Structure 1
Amino acid sequence: MSDVRPIRVLLVEDDELMRRAFTVALERYGYEMTAAADGLTGLELFRDGGFDLLVLDVMLPGLDGIGLCRRVRETSLVPVLMMSARGDGLDVVAGLEAGADDYVVKPVDTFVLVARIRSLLRRATYPPLPCPEPATHAAEVLAFGDLVIDTAGMEVSVAGEPVALTPTELKVLLEFAARPGVVLERHTLLRDVWDYGWDGDSRVVDLCVQRLRRKLGRDRIETVRGFGYKLRR
Protein backbone atom coordinates (compact mmCIF):
# COMPACT_ATOMS: atom_id res chain seq x y z
CA MET A 1 0.00 0.00 0.00
CA SER A 2 1.37 3.43 -0.96
CA ASP A 3 2.40 5.70 1.89
CA VAL A 4 2.13 8.81 -0.30
CA ARG A 5 -0.55 11.04 1.16
CA PRO A 6 -3.07 12.72 -1.14
CA ILE A 7 -2.70 16.40 -1.92
CA ARG A 8 -4.90 18.44 0.39
CA VAL A 9 -6.86 21.31 -1.16
CA LEU A 10 -8.92 23.91 0.70
CA LEU A 11 -11.77 25.27 -1.41
CA VAL A 12 -13.56 28.41 -0.20
CA GLU A 13 -16.67 29.06 -2.31
CA ASP A 14 -19.99 30.48 -1.12
CA ASP A 15 -22.13 29.10 -3.95
CA GLU A 16 -23.34 25.73 -2.65
CA LEU A 17 -23.84 24.12 -6.06
CA MET A 18 -20.41 25.17 -7.32
CA ARG A 19 -18.79 24.18 -4.03
CA ARG A 20 -20.25 20.68 -4.25
CA ALA A 21 -19.49 20.34 -7.96
CA PHE A 22 -15.84 21.38 -7.58
CA THR A 23 -15.39 19.20 -4.51
CA VAL A 24 -16.74 16.08 -6.23
CA ALA A 25 -14.83 16.77 -9.44
CA LEU A 26 -11.48 17.35 -7.72
CA GLU A 27 -11.94 14.31 -5.48
CA ARG A 28 -12.22 12.25 -8.67
CA TYR A 29 -8.74 13.46 -9.58
CA GLY A 30 -7.43 12.18 -6.27
CA TYR A 31 -7.32 15.41 -4.27
CA GLU A 32 -8.35 15.39 -0.61
CA MET A 33 -10.89 18.19 -0.42
CA THR A 34 -11.97 20.43 2.44
CA ALA A 35 -14.58 23.08 1.65
CA ALA A 36 -15.85 26.22 3.34
CA ALA A 37 -18.72 28.55 2.46
CA ASP A 38 -17.27 31.81 3.80
CA GLY A 39 -13.93 33.49 4.32
CA LEU A 40 -13.82 33.37 8.12
CA THR A 41 -14.50 29.64 8.18
CA GLY A 42 -11.90 29.20 5.46
CA LEU A 43 -9.37 31.10 7.57
CA GLU A 44 -10.06 28.89 10.58
CA LEU A 45 -9.63 25.75 8.49
CA PHE A 46 -6.41 27.08 6.97
CA ARG A 47 -5.00 27.80 10.42
CA ASP A 48 -5.54 24.16 11.33
CA GLY A 49 -2.77 23.55 8.81
CA GLY A 50 -1.78 20.82 6.41
CA PHE A 51 -3.11 22.19 3.11
CA ASP A 52 -1.01 21.99 -0.04
CA LEU A 53 -3.05 24.49 -2.06
CA LEU A 54 -5.94 26.95 -1.58
CA VAL A 55 -8.68 27.74 -4.11
CA LEU A 56 -10.45 30.95 -3.09
CA ASP A 57 -13.44 32.67 -4.63
CA VAL A 58 -13.08 36.46 -4.68
CA MET A 59 -16.64 37.26 -3.58
CA LEU A 60 -17.18 35.68 -0.15
CA PRO A 61 -19.35 36.65 2.83
CA GLY A 62 -17.70 37.78 6.04
CA LEU A 63 -14.14 37.92 4.77
CA ASP A 64 -13.74 38.12 1.01
CA GLY A 65 -11.20 36.10 -0.94
CA ILE A 66 -8.78 39.00 -1.29
CA GLY A 67 -8.78 39.63 2.46
CA LEU A 68 -8.44 35.92 3.10
CA CYS A 69 -5.47 35.72 0.74
CA ARG A 70 -3.78 38.59 2.58
CA ARG A 71 -4.29 36.85 5.93
CA VAL A 72 -2.88 33.62 4.52
CA ARG A 73 0.19 35.42 3.17
CA GLU A 74 0.95 36.78 6.64
CA THR A 75 2.07 33.33 7.72
CA SER A 76 2.26 31.02 4.69
CA LEU A 77 3.64 30.67 1.17
CA VAL A 78 1.13 27.96 0.23
CA PRO A 79 0.04 28.22 -3.44
CA VAL A 80 -3.19 30.20 -3.87
CA LEU A 81 -5.52 30.09 -6.88
CA MET A 82 -8.21 32.76 -7.04
CA MET A 83 -11.56 32.36 -8.80
CA SER A 84 -13.26 35.45 -10.15
CA ALA A 85 -16.58 35.97 -11.90
CA ARG A 86 -15.17 39.15 -13.49
CA GLY A 87 -12.08 38.27 -15.47
CA ASP A 88 -11.25 41.84 -16.47
CA GLY A 89 -12.27 43.46 -13.20
CA LEU A 90 -10.23 45.13 -10.49
CA ASP A 91 -10.81 42.13 -8.24
CA VAL A 92 -8.39 40.06 -10.36
CA VAL A 93 -5.63 42.65 -9.92
CA ALA A 94 -6.41 43.01 -6.23
CA GLY A 95 -6.23 39.25 -5.75
CA LEU A 96 -2.84 39.01 -7.45
CA GLU A 97 -1.55 41.99 -5.48
CA ALA A 98 -2.70 40.29 -2.28
CA GLY A 99 -0.36 37.41 -3.07
CA ALA A 100 -2.37 34.96 -5.18
CA ASP A 101 -0.28 32.95 -7.63
CA ASP A 102 -2.86 32.68 -10.41
CA TYR A 103 -6.57 33.03 -11.14
CA VAL A 104 -9.32 31.50 -13.21
CA VAL A 105 -12.54 33.09 -14.42
CA LYS A 106 -15.90 31.57 -13.56
CA PRO A 107 -17.66 29.71 -14.95
CA VAL A 108 -14.59 27.51 -15.16
CA ASP A 109 -14.35 24.09 -16.74
CA THR A 110 -13.10 21.37 -14.41
CA PHE A 111 -10.29 20.47 -16.82
CA VAL A 112 -9.05 24.07 -16.74
CA LEU A 113 -9.25 24.20 -12.94
CA VAL A 114 -7.28 20.97 -12.62
CA ALA A 115 -4.68 22.21 -15.10
CA ARG A 116 -4.13 25.42 -13.10
CA ILE A 117 -3.89 23.42 -9.85
CA ARG A 118 -1.34 21.04 -11.35
CA SER A 119 0.70 23.97 -12.64
CA LEU A 120 0.75 25.58 -9.20
CA LEU A 121 1.77 22.33 -7.54
CA ARG A 122 4.61 21.86 -10.03
CA ARG A 123 5.94 25.29 -9.10
CA ALA A 124 5.83 24.34 -5.43
CA THR A 125 8.29 21.52 -6.17
CA TYR A 126 10.46 23.36 -8.67
CA PRO A 127 13.79 21.53 -9.19
CA PRO A 128 17.22 23.19 -8.98
CA LEU A 129 18.53 24.97 -12.05
CA PRO A 130 20.53 22.72 -14.41
CA CYS A 131 24.21 23.55 -14.25
CA PRO A 132 26.95 22.28 -16.55
CA GLU A 133 29.54 22.60 -13.79
CA PRO A 134 30.26 19.83 -11.28
CA ALA A 135 27.62 19.54 -8.58
CA THR A 136 29.48 21.53 -5.95
CA HIS A 137 27.98 23.88 -3.43
CA ALA A 138 29.62 26.82 -5.20
CA ALA A 139 27.93 25.87 -8.47
CA GLU A 140 24.56 25.71 -6.72
CA VAL A 141 24.76 29.27 -5.38
CA LEU A 142 24.10 32.24 -7.67
CA ALA A 143 25.05 35.74 -6.57
CA PHE A 144 24.00 39.05 -8.10
CA GLY A 145 25.46 41.70 -5.85
CA ASP A 146 23.97 41.12 -2.41
CA LEU A 147 21.21 38.93 -3.88
CA VAL A 148 22.13 35.28 -3.28
CA ILE A 149 20.12 32.32 -4.59
CA ASP A 150 20.82 28.82 -3.29
CA THR A 151 19.37 26.75 -6.14
CA ALA A 152 19.76 23.46 -4.28
CA GLY A 153 18.17 24.57 -1.03
CA MET A 154 15.70 26.89 -2.81
CA GLU A 155 16.66 29.74 -0.47
CA VAL A 156 17.04 33.43 -1.29
CA SER A 157 18.73 36.16 0.71
CA VAL A 158 19.45 39.86 0.28
CA ALA A 159 22.37 41.39 2.19
CA GLY A 160 22.51 38.24 4.26
CA GLU A 161 18.85 38.38 5.28
CA PRO A 162 16.55 35.53 4.17
CA VAL A 163 13.68 36.48 1.85
CA ALA A 164 10.47 34.44 1.82
CA LEU A 165 9.14 33.91 -1.70
CA THR A 166 6.06 32.06 -2.86
CA PRO A 167 6.68 29.13 -5.24
CA THR A 168 5.61 31.29 -8.19
CA GLU A 169 7.83 34.21 -7.18
CA LEU A 170 10.76 31.82 -6.73
CA LYS A 171 10.26 30.23 -10.13
CA VAL A 172 10.09 33.64 -11.83
CA LEU A 173 13.30 34.66 -10.07
CA LEU A 174 14.99 31.44 -11.15
CA GLU A 175 13.98 32.10 -14.76
CA PHE A 176 15.67 35.52 -14.53
CA ALA A 177 18.70 34.09 -12.72
CA ALA A 178 19.23 31.46 -15.42
CA ARG A 179 19.65 34.29 -17.95
CA PRO A 180 20.91 37.41 -16.16
CA GLY A 181 20.92 40.51 -18.31
CA VAL A 182 18.70 38.84 -20.92
CA VAL A 183 15.27 40.35 -21.56
CA LEU A 184 12.47 37.87 -20.90
CA GLU A 185 9.23 38.71 -22.66
CA ARG A 186 5.97 38.41 -20.78
CA HIS A 187 4.66 35.64 -23.01
CA THR A 188 7.87 33.67 -22.36
CA LEU A 189 7.35 33.89 -18.61
CA LEU A 190 3.66 33.01 -19.01
CA ARG A 191 4.66 29.90 -20.94
CA ASP A 192 7.56 28.80 -18.73
CA VAL A 193 6.16 29.69 -15.30
CA TRP A 194 2.37 29.70 -15.59
CA ASP A 195 2.07 27.13 -18.40
CA TYR A 196 -0.03 29.56 -20.42
CA GLY A 197 -0.03 29.88 -24.18
CA TRP A 198 -0.25 33.14 -26.09
CA ASP A 199 -3.67 33.91 -24.63
CA GLY A 200 -2.42 34.19 -21.05
CA ASP A 201 -3.04 37.31 -18.98
CA SER A 202 0.20 39.31 -18.70
CA ARG A 203 -1.07 40.98 -15.53
CA VAL A 204 -0.02 37.92 -13.54
CA VAL A 205 3.56 38.52 -14.73
CA ASP A 206 3.56 42.25 -14.03
CA LEU A 207 2.14 41.88 -10.53
CA CYS A 208 4.47 39.02 -9.66
CA VAL A 209 7.44 41.17 -10.72
CA GLN A 210 6.08 44.00 -8.57
CA ARG A 211 5.99 41.67 -5.55
CA LEU A 212 9.56 40.52 -6.27
CA ARG A 213 10.72 44.13 -6.42
CA ARG A 214 9.15 44.86 -3.04
CA LYS A 215 10.99 41.89 -1.53
CA LEU A 216 14.32 42.07 -3.36
CA GLY A 217 14.72 45.78 -4.09
CA ARG A 218 13.10 48.09 -6.61
CA ASP A 219 16.08 48.23 -9.00
CA ARG A 220 16.87 44.51 -9.07
CA ILE A 221 14.57 43.69 -12.00
CA GLU A 222 14.62 46.18 -14.85
CA THR A 223 11.68 46.94 -17.13
CA VAL A 224 12.52 47.03 -20.83
CA ARG A 225 9.58 48.92 -22.28
CA GLY A 226 7.78 47.17 -25.07
CA PHE A 227 9.58 43.88 -24.44
CA GLY A 228 9.61 42.60 -20.86
CA TYR A 229 11.97 42.37 -17.90
CA LYS A 230 15.56 41.43 -17.13
CA LEU A 231 17.60 40.77 -13.99
CA ARG A 232 20.45 43.21 -13.55
CA ARG A 233 23.82 41.44 -13.59
Structure 2
Amino acid sequence: MTRILIVEDEESYRVPLAYQLAREGYDVSSAASGEEGWEKFLAGGVDLVLLDRMMPGIDGIELTRRIREQSRVPIIMVTAKSAEIDTVVGLETGADDYVAKPYSFHELNARIRAVLRRRVNEIEDARTAGGMEAGATGRSAANGNLPLACGPVEMDVDAHQVRVGGEEVFFPLKEFEVLEYLLRNRGRVMTRQQLIDHVWGADYVGDTKTLDVHVKRIRAKIEDDPKNPKLLTTVRGLGYKLG
Protein backbone atom coordinates (compact mmCIF):
# COMPACT_ATOMS: atom_id res chain seq x y z
CA MET A 1 0.00 0.00 0.00
CA THR A 2 1.31 3.44 -0.97
CA ARG A 3 2.16 5.54 2.08
CA ILE A 4 1.67 9.30 1.93
CA LEU A 5 3.06 11.69 4.52
CA ILE A 6 1.07 14.94 4.89
CA VAL A 7 2.94 17.84 6.49
CA GLU A 8 0.46 20.64 7.09
CA ASP A 9 0.11 22.97 10.07
CA GLU A 10 -3.50 23.96 9.30
CA GLU A 11 -5.79 21.38 10.83
CA SER A 12 -8.67 22.45 8.58
CA TYR A 13 -6.66 21.17 5.61
CA ARG A 14 -4.70 18.34 7.23
CA VAL A 15 -7.52 16.33 8.81
CA PRO A 16 -9.99 16.29 5.87
CA LEU A 17 -7.18 15.59 3.40
CA ALA A 18 -5.91 12.64 5.45
CA TYR A 19 -9.46 11.27 5.59
CA GLN A 20 -10.03 11.64 1.83
CA LEU A 21 -6.70 10.06 0.90
CA ALA A 22 -7.35 7.16 3.25
CA ARG A 23 -10.67 6.59 1.50
CA GLU A 24 -8.74 6.39 -1.79
CA GLY A 25 -6.76 3.47 -0.38
CA TYR A 26 -3.57 5.21 0.71
CA ASP A 27 -1.78 4.55 3.99
CA VAL A 28 -1.71 8.09 5.39
CA SER A 29 0.32 9.61 8.19
CA SER A 30 0.33 13.30 9.03
CA ALA A 31 2.41 15.90 10.82
CA ALA A 32 1.38 19.31 12.11
CA SER A 33 4.82 20.91 11.71
CA GLY A 34 7.97 20.69 9.63
CA GLU A 35 9.88 19.32 12.61
CA GLU A 36 7.37 16.51 13.13
CA GLY A 37 7.29 15.85 9.39
CA TRP A 38 11.07 15.50 9.30
CA GLU A 39 11.01 13.01 12.17
CA LYS A 40 8.33 10.92 10.48
CA PHE A 41 10.17 10.99 7.18
CA LEU A 42 13.36 9.78 8.85
CA ALA A 43 11.38 6.89 10.33
CA GLY A 44 11.11 5.57 6.77
CA GLY A 45 8.51 3.89 4.63
CA VAL A 46 7.25 7.05 2.88
CA ASP A 47 6.33 6.82 -0.82
CA LEU A 48 5.22 10.43 -1.33
CA VAL A 49 5.38 13.63 0.71
CA LEU A 50 2.63 16.23 0.49
CA LEU A 51 3.71 19.37 2.30
CA ASP A 52 2.68 22.94 2.91
CA ARG A 53 4.97 25.72 1.69
CA MET A 54 4.31 28.10 4.60
CA MET A 55 4.84 26.67 8.08
CA PRO A 56 6.48 28.09 11.22
CA GLY A 57 9.88 26.64 12.12
CA ILE A 58 10.97 24.25 9.38
CA ASP A 59 8.94 25.42 6.39
CA GLY A 60 8.18 23.50 3.21
CA ILE A 61 11.24 24.78 1.37
CA GLU A 62 13.66 23.73 4.11
CA LEU A 63 11.95 20.37 4.57
CA THR A 64 12.12 19.71 0.82
CA ARG A 65 15.81 20.57 0.85
CA ARG A 66 16.48 18.17 3.73
CA ILE A 67 14.54 15.35 2.07
CA ARG A 68 16.32 15.85 -1.24
CA GLU A 69 19.68 15.45 0.46
CA GLN A 70 18.69 11.87 1.27
CA SER A 71 15.96 10.70 -1.09
CA ARG A 72 14.25 11.01 -4.47
CA VAL A 73 10.83 10.31 -2.93
CA PRO A 74 8.19 12.34 -4.82
CA ILE A 75 7.24 15.66 -3.21
CA ILE A 76 4.17 17.76 -3.98
CA MET A 77 4.21 21.22 -2.45
CA VAL A 78 0.94 22.87 -1.47
CA THR A 79 1.06 26.63 -1.18
CA ALA A 80 -1.28 29.54 -0.61
CA LYS A 81 1.11 31.57 -2.72
CA SER A 82 0.78 31.15 -6.47
CA ALA A 83 3.23 33.87 -7.53
CA GLU A 84 5.88 32.72 -10.00
CA ILE A 85 8.76 33.28 -7.57
CA ASP A 86 7.22 30.92 -5.03
CA THR A 87 6.69 28.30 -7.72
CA VAL A 88 10.29 28.67 -8.86
CA VAL A 89 11.68 28.35 -5.33
CA GLY A 90 9.65 25.22 -4.66
CA LEU A 91 10.61 23.51 -7.91
CA GLU A 92 14.23 24.58 -7.66
CA THR A 93 14.49 23.13 -4.18
CA GLY A 94 13.40 19.74 -5.50
CA ALA A 95 9.60 19.50 -5.40
CA ASP A 96 8.14 17.42 -8.23
CA ASP A 97 4.93 19.42 -8.49
CA TYR A 98 2.96 22.11 -6.71
CA VAL A 99 -0.71 22.86 -6.05
CA ALA A 100 -2.05 26.25 -4.97
CA LYS A 101 -4.63 26.61 -2.23
CA PRO A 102 -7.55 26.42 -2.40
CA TYR A 103 -7.44 23.23 -4.45
CA SER A 104 -9.97 20.58 -5.38
CA PHE A 105 -9.30 17.11 -4.01
CA HIS A 106 -9.94 15.67 -7.48
CA GLU A 107 -7.09 17.75 -8.95
CA LEU A 108 -4.74 16.99 -6.08
CA ASN A 109 -5.44 13.26 -6.25
CA ALA A 110 -4.83 13.27 -10.00
CA ARG A 111 -1.47 14.94 -9.47
CA ILE A 112 -0.56 12.46 -6.75
CA ARG A 113 -1.31 9.55 -9.09
CA ALA A 114 0.64 11.16 -11.93
CA VAL A 115 3.71 11.82 -9.77
CA LEU A 116 3.66 8.27 -8.40
CA ARG A 117 3.39 6.81 -11.92
CA ARG A 118 6.30 8.93 -13.11
CA ARG A 119 8.40 7.72 -10.17
CA VAL A 120 7.65 4.09 -11.03
CA ASN A 121 8.60 4.76 -14.65
CA GLU A 122 11.86 6.44 -13.59
CA ILE A 123 12.79 3.41 -11.51
CA GLU A 124 11.99 1.03 -14.36
CA ASP A 125 13.92 3.16 -16.86
CA ALA A 126 16.93 3.19 -14.54
CA ARG A 127 16.81 -0.59 -14.24
CA THR A 128 16.54 -0.97 -18.01
CA ALA A 129 19.39 1.45 -18.61
CA GLY A 130 21.53 -0.42 -16.10
CA GLY A 131 20.89 -3.68 -17.88
CA MET A 132 21.67 -2.17 -21.26
CA GLU A 133 24.88 -0.65 -19.93
CA ALA A 134 26.00 -3.97 -18.50
CA GLY A 135 25.44 -5.70 -21.82
CA ALA A 136 26.40 -2.89 -24.16
CA THR A 137 28.94 -3.35 -26.95
CA GLY A 138 31.94 -1.06 -27.08
CA ARG A 139 30.34 0.90 -29.92
CA SER A 140 27.01 1.45 -28.19
CA ALA A 141 28.70 2.36 -24.90
CA ALA A 142 30.84 4.91 -26.68
CA ASN A 143 27.82 6.41 -28.44
CA GLY A 144 25.97 6.65 -25.12
CA ASN A 145 28.80 8.77 -23.71
CA LEU A 146 28.84 11.30 -26.56
CA PRO A 147 28.03 14.78 -25.19
CA LEU A 148 25.11 16.83 -26.47
CA ALA A 149 26.01 20.35 -27.49
CA CYS A 150 24.58 23.59 -28.85
CA GLY A 151 26.60 26.79 -28.94
CA PRO A 152 28.27 27.27 -25.55
CA VAL A 153 26.16 24.53 -23.96
CA GLU A 154 27.56 21.01 -23.59
CA MET A 155 25.82 18.21 -21.70
CA ASP A 156 27.19 14.88 -20.51
CA VAL A 157 24.00 12.92 -19.87
CA ASP A 158 25.66 9.95 -18.17
CA ALA A 159 27.52 12.17 -15.72
CA HIS A 160 24.55 14.52 -15.30
CA GLN A 161 26.78 17.50 -16.02
CA VAL A 162 26.23 20.67 -18.03
CA ARG A 163 28.93 23.11 -19.06
CA VAL A 164 28.21 26.59 -20.39
CA GLY A 165 31.18 28.31 -21.95
CA GLY A 166 33.44 25.67 -20.39
CA GLU A 167 32.15 26.28 -16.86
CA GLU A 168 30.09 23.63 -15.07
CA VAL A 169 26.60 24.85 -14.17
CA PHE A 170 24.20 23.04 -11.85
CA PHE A 171 20.82 22.00 -13.29
CA PRO A 172 18.14 20.43 -11.07
CA LEU A 173 16.61 17.23 -12.44
CA LYS A 174 13.62 18.68 -14.31
CA GLU A 175 15.62 21.55 -15.81
CA PHE A 176 18.21 18.99 -16.90
CA GLU A 177 15.54 16.82 -18.55
CA VAL A 178 13.99 19.79 -20.38
CA LEU A 179 17.39 20.92 -21.64
CA GLU A 180 18.36 17.38 -22.65
CA TYR A 181 15.19 16.99 -24.73
CA LEU A 182 15.79 20.33 -26.43
CA LEU A 183 19.44 19.42 -27.14
CA ARG A 184 18.41 16.09 -28.64
CA ASN A 185 16.02 18.01 -30.89
CA ARG A 186 18.33 20.92 -31.65
CA GLY A 187 17.00 23.22 -34.35
CA ARG A 188 13.47 21.82 -34.13
CA VAL A 189 10.45 23.57 -32.68
CA MET A 190 9.20 21.55 -29.73
CA THR A 191 5.68 22.29 -28.61
CA ARG A 192 4.89 22.87 -24.97
CA GLN A 193 2.82 19.70 -24.97
CA GLN A 194 5.69 17.63 -26.37
CA LEU A 195 8.01 18.92 -23.65
CA ILE A 196 5.47 18.35 -20.89
CA ASP A 197 4.64 14.84 -22.14
CA HIS A 198 8.33 13.91 -22.29
CA VAL A 199 9.47 15.40 -18.97
CA TRP A 200 6.36 15.26 -16.76
CA GLY A 201 4.44 12.48 -18.51
CA ALA A 202 1.37 12.40 -20.76
CA ASP A 203 -0.88 12.16 -17.71
CA TYR A 204 0.33 15.48 -16.24
CA VAL A 205 -2.74 17.46 -15.17
CA GLY A 206 -1.20 20.88 -14.51
CA ASP A 207 -0.93 23.83 -16.88
CA THR A 208 2.09 24.98 -18.89
CA LYS A 209 3.24 27.45 -16.24
CA THR A 210 5.55 24.87 -14.69
CA LEU A 211 7.31 24.36 -18.04
CA ASP A 212 7.58 28.11 -18.65
CA VAL A 213 9.19 28.57 -15.23
CA HIS A 214 11.79 25.90 -16.03
CA VAL A 215 12.54 27.47 -19.43
CA LYS A 216 13.03 30.83 -17.74
CA ARG A 217 15.49 29.29 -15.29
CA ILE A 218 17.36 27.51 -18.10
CA ARG A 219 17.68 30.77 -20.03
CA ALA A 220 19.15 32.46 -16.96
CA LYS A 221 21.95 29.88 -17.06
CA ILE A 222 22.70 29.60 -20.78
CA GLU A 223 21.90 33.01 -22.29
CA ASP A 224 24.07 36.12 -22.26
CA ASP A 225 20.89 38.19 -21.97
CA PRO A 226 18.04 36.01 -20.66
CA LYS A 227 15.47 38.74 -21.36
CA ASN A 228 16.46 38.71 -25.04
CA PRO A 229 17.28 35.04 -25.67
CA LYS A 230 19.19 34.08 -28.79
CA LEU A 231 19.83 30.40 -28.07
CA LEU A 232 16.59 29.14 -26.50
CA THR A 233 13.85 31.04 -28.28
CA THR A 234 10.06 31.10 -28.07
CA VAL A 235 8.14 30.31 -31.23
CA ARG A 236 4.90 32.15 -30.60
CA GLY A 237 1.86 29.94 -30.58
CA LEU A 238 3.93 26.75 -30.80
CA GLY A 239 6.63 26.26 -28.21
CA TYR A 240 10.41 26.52 -27.90
CA LYS A 241 13.46 25.97 -30.10
CA LEU A 242 17.09 25.52 -29.10
CA GLY A 243 19.70 26.58 -31.63
Q: TM-score, normalised by structure 1?
A: 0.70
Residues 37-58 of structure 1: CA distance to partner in whole angstroms, max 9, x if unpaired? 1111112222223322211111
Residue type at the aligned position of 2:16: A
Q: Specify the alignment match of 2:105 in structure 1.
A: 110
Q: Specify the alignment match of 1:8 in structure 2.
A: 3
Q: Specify the alignment match of 1:200 in structure 2.
A: 207
Q: Specify the alignment match of 1:144 in structure 2.
A: 148
Q: Contact between 2:189 and 2:235, CA under 8 Å: does it hold in 1?
A: no
Residue type at the aligned position of 2:44: G
SS of the counterpart of 1:66?
helix
Q: Specify the alignment match of 1:185 in structure 2.
A: 191
Q: Specify the alignment match of 1:65 in structure 2.
A: 60
Q: Contact between 1:56 and 1:83, CA under 8 Å: does it hold in 2?
A: yes
Residue type at the aligned position of 1:225: T
Match of 1:224 among 216, 224, 233: 233
Q: Contact between 2:84 and 2:213, CA under 8 Å: does it hold in 1?
A: no
Q: State the shift of 1:19 in Å.
A: 0.8
Q: Percent identity?
A: 40
Match of 1:20 among 15, 20, 25: 15
Show the 5 A alignment for 1:37-56: 37-56=32-51
Q: Contact between 1:96 and 1:207, CA under 8 Å: does it hold in 2?
A: no
SS of the counterpart of 2:76?
strand
SS of the counterpart of 2:51?
strand
Residues 99-158 of structure 1: CA distance to partner in whole angstroms, max 9, x if unpaired? 2121111121111111111111122124549xxxxx9562893752674446xxxx8466
Q: Specify the alignment match of 1:29 in structure 2.
A: 24
- Structure 1 pair 212/224, CA: closer, same or farther in 2 (3 Å)? closer
Distance 1:230 1:122 in 2: 28
Larger Rg: 2
Task: Give the paired residue count.
Answer: 210
Distance 1:172 1:123 in 2: 15
Distance 1:170 1:30 in 2: 34
Q: State the shift of 1:211 in Å.
A: 6.8
Q: TM-score, normalised by structure 2?
A: 0.67
User: What is the root-mean-square deviation of aligned Cα atoms in Å?
Assistant: 3.6
Residues 50-77 of structure 1: CA distance to partner in whole angstroms, max 9, x if unpaired? 3222111111121111221122222322
- Structure 1 pair 164/170, CA: closer, same or farther in 2 (3 Å)? closer
Residue type at the aligned position of 2:63: L
Query: Please, which runs of 5 or more residues in structure 1 have no aligned partner?
Result: 1-5, 130-134
Residue type at the aligned position of 1:10: L
